[in-house]
Amino acid sequence: MVKAMGIDVGSTTVKVVVIDKNKKILFKHIENTKPRIKEQVKEVIGKVKERFKGEDIPIISTGYGRKLVEEAKKSMTEITCHAKGIYYALNTTGTLIDIGGQDSKVIVVEKYGRVLDFTMNDKCSAGTGRFLENTAARMDIPVEKIGEIALKSEKEVKISSTCTVFAESEIISLLAYGEEIGSILKGLHRGLITRIVGMINSVAFTPPLMLSGGVAKNRAIKEMLEEETGYSIKMPEHPQLIGAYGAAIISLEQNI
């Protein structure tokens, strides 16, 4: 049976997806990125091959470490793969927001998952998952919880530093002045969302809005983005896997 594999080697996690010829996901896997990426990738792919023994599955790699995947036939950028992946995951054109650990991107997706326009926040961590992760760590709260806490808070304090490092010291002083954790977290989310909205405004935006990346699991991000933009946001079933899924689809298309 025809199959294809996509592997997304990101700065935070490595994601693998295997699909069949109808683009249905047969296998998926996520693990944290380790310092020795080459070896890690080899091992991961080895395990997948083990599972689909005897089958020749073509691989396309993507993500920051895409060039380190020796087993891949080809590597493609995250932009191309995300566009492809989201188009088939949600069956629609539109504008995808992907908030990853290291960068965020906004991609305008056309028919068949072609890219019409894109922009990236790659200069500064303030619009990325790292921004939330770092500050959550500062407050000693697990990152999975911060969205819920932020949403529960009625009050919201303004965090004026857009820089992750400076925001950290700002938070410390806010805490020292007795501000509630919830309202600080809400302010932090607002800071990130404002950045993302700026990016959306700078591309050739077409609705609907779609969301992917690890941060998509955070409910506050989705809700606050909807509130800021006035559009409801569509989410795929596996937001973190969109890049790998897109890579697998491209691999499939190129091998049929």
Find the binder of other proteins among 59, 79, 109, 241 (CB under 8 A).
Answer: 79
- List for the chain the helix, strand, coil content (%; round to 5): 45, 20, 30
Q: Is there a contact between 49 and 42 (Cβ–Cβ < 8 Å)?
A: no
**Of the candidate residues 74, 223, 226, 231, the single one contacting other proteins (CB under 8 A):** 74
75 touching other proteins, by CB under 8 A: yes
Query: Please, which of residues 140-159 interact with other proteins by CB under 8 A?
Result: none
Angle between helices 242-255 and 78-90 (to 10 degrees): 90
Position among 26, 116, 151, 233 found at the interface with other proteins (CB under 8 A): 116
Q: Of 28-36, 115-123, 189-197, 238-246, which part binds other proteins (CB under 8 A)?
A: 115-123
Q: What is the contact mask toward other proteins in residues 185 to 214, using x (rule: CB under 8 A)?
A: -----------------xxx----------
Task: For the chain, list the strands marked E by DSSP.
Answer: 3-9, 13-20, 25-32, 59-62, 74-75, 94-99, 104-109, 115-121, 209-212, 233-234
Q: Is 78 in the site for other proteins (CB under 8 A)?
A: yes
* Choice from 9, 64, 170, 215 touching other proteins (CB under 8 A): 64
Q: Which stretch binds other proteins (CB under 8 A): 92-100, 108-116, 189-197, 226-234?
A: 108-116
Q: Which of 13, 40, 61, 80 binds other proteins (CB under 8 A)?
A: 80
The DSSP call for residue 24 is -
Ramachandran region, residue 91 (left: φ > 0; alpha: ψ -120 to 50; beta: rest): left
By rule CB under 8 A, what count of residues binds other proteins?
Answer: 21
Residues in touch with other proteins (CB under 8 A): 64, 74-80, 103, 114-120, 122-123, 202-204
